[in-house]
Amino acid sequence: MKTVCMVLNAVMMVWLLGGCLADDVKKTDGVQAPAAAEKASLAGDPVKIDFKWSFKQQAAKSLFDKKDYPAAQKALEYLVATAPNEGAKLECLSLAAIALGCQRQYDPAMQAAQRIPDAALADYTRMEIMTVNGKNEELIAAYASKDFAAWPEDLRYKGYLKRGDAYIALKNNRAAVRDLEQAAGQVGAKLDIQIWTLTRMGALYESLHEVDKALDAYRKGVSLAKNSDPWRGYWRYSTEAVVSAVRILVDRKKYDEALVIVAAYPPERDGIVTAPVAEAHGDVYAALGKKEEALSKYRESLLTAGKPRAIGINKKMDALK
């Protein structure tokens, strides 16, 4: 399988950097000039899109997602030279620098980030490079007082999240939760990120023994998923929020609310509810003394549970028998 993936990645690189190169250059007096330059006039017209370039950018991002960082870096650096507009160029510069950082070439990566002409994006890129290289203390030293509210809207929440991650790594959960609170308020319509951020806030509040705030954060995450378009699949981002909220509610003997939350979580396409939620549902019934209902939910959870979770579920079932 690994060999197959390597071959596929090599084929993708040939296409990105070689096979389609002929489509992107024109020969002028023996000199190859990027055809993308010919399309520079499209930059100001959002209706006109260089679909071929965009497709290649997605292929380069796919290499990055597969952790083939050397190939991704090379592809992205090529795409910089052929970008149809400034925004696309900046995005490739940033991701190419991060790909370099992911190869543990910290200093060259930071130098590449420094060359990004957009100040906010350059800062964010440096934060990403610091994060993947475990430079959390350096990140806080550089950005502890940074006002991310002054950044462009699509970067603000990312700045708060990156700094929050560094604070978490340094076990400064109080500072981390402040940044995550800011991030949650800046995410906007990105419900998956908002739900994930609220869930992390809940966990941080619990670590600080502020259980009321934790429960409130979990409830907000669940509510966002519940009120979203069911076809968008936002529920899968709320699994941890659902399970955590139910755990706190059961501890507080608020069984009715706990049941409402787990009952609202939709099943997968095969009709089975994901294991953690089915187990949490069983926990509510067990706390209510409803033995058969609890066992039924535990059995359902075993259908998709991994081995470590299954061991714990079986212990709960044995305790009810």
Q: Tell me: the pLDDT tens digits for 263-319?
A: 888 877 566 778 999 999 999 999 999 999 999 999 999 999 999 999 999 999 999
> Tokens for 289?
């003394």
In contact, 97 and 129? CB cutoff 8 Å:
yes
- From residue 309, give the alpha-carbon distance in Å to each of 164, 218, 296, 301: 29, 22, 16, 9
Compute φ and ψ for 270, nearest 5 degrees: -85, 5
Contacts of 194 (CB under 8 A, 6+ apart): 184, 187, 221, 224
User: Which residue in 283, 271, 270 sits closest to 309, CA to CA?
Assistant: 283
pLDDT digits (tens, 9 = 90+) for 64-100: 999 999 999 999 999 998 899 999 999 999 999 999 9
* Burial (Cβ within 10 Å: 0-12, 13-18, ≥19) of residue 286: buried
pLDDT the model gives residue 44? 37
In contact, 161 and 127? CB cutoff 8 Å:
no
Compute φ and ψ for 85, nearest 5 degrees: -160, 170
Residues 126, 193: Cα–Cα separation, whole Å: 21
> Tokens for 181?
């609170």
pLDDT the model gives residue 161? 97
In contact, 116 and 90? CB cutoff 8 Å:
yes
Question: Coil, helix or strand for 277?
Answer: helix
In contact, 59 and 47? CB cutoff 8 Å:
no
pLDDT the model gives residue 61? 92
User: Which residue in 144, 217, 216 sits closest to 176, CA to CA?
Assistant: 144
Sequence spans of domains, the chain: 1-133, 140-188, 191-266, 272-321
Q: Which CATH architecture best describes the domain 1-133?
A: Alpha Horseshoe (1.25)
Q: Do 1-133 and 191-266 agree at the fold level?
A: yes
Check: pTM over 0.85? Answer yes or no: no
Choose the CATH number for 191-266 among 1.10.600, 1.10.150, 1.10.8, 1.25.40: 1.25.40
Per-position pLDDT tens, the chain of length 321: 545 455 445 444 444 554 443 343 333 333 333 333 333 333 333 334 456 888 888 999 999 999 999 999 999 999 998 899 999 999 999 999 999 999 999 999 999 999 999 999 999 999 999 999 999 999 999 999 999 999 999 999 999 999 999 999 999 999 999 999 999 999 988 899 999 999 999 999 999 999 999 999 999 999 998 887 765 677 788 999 999 999 999 999 999 999 999 988 887 756 677 899 999 999 999 999 999 999 999 999 999 999 999 999 999 999 998
Type of residue numbered 18? G
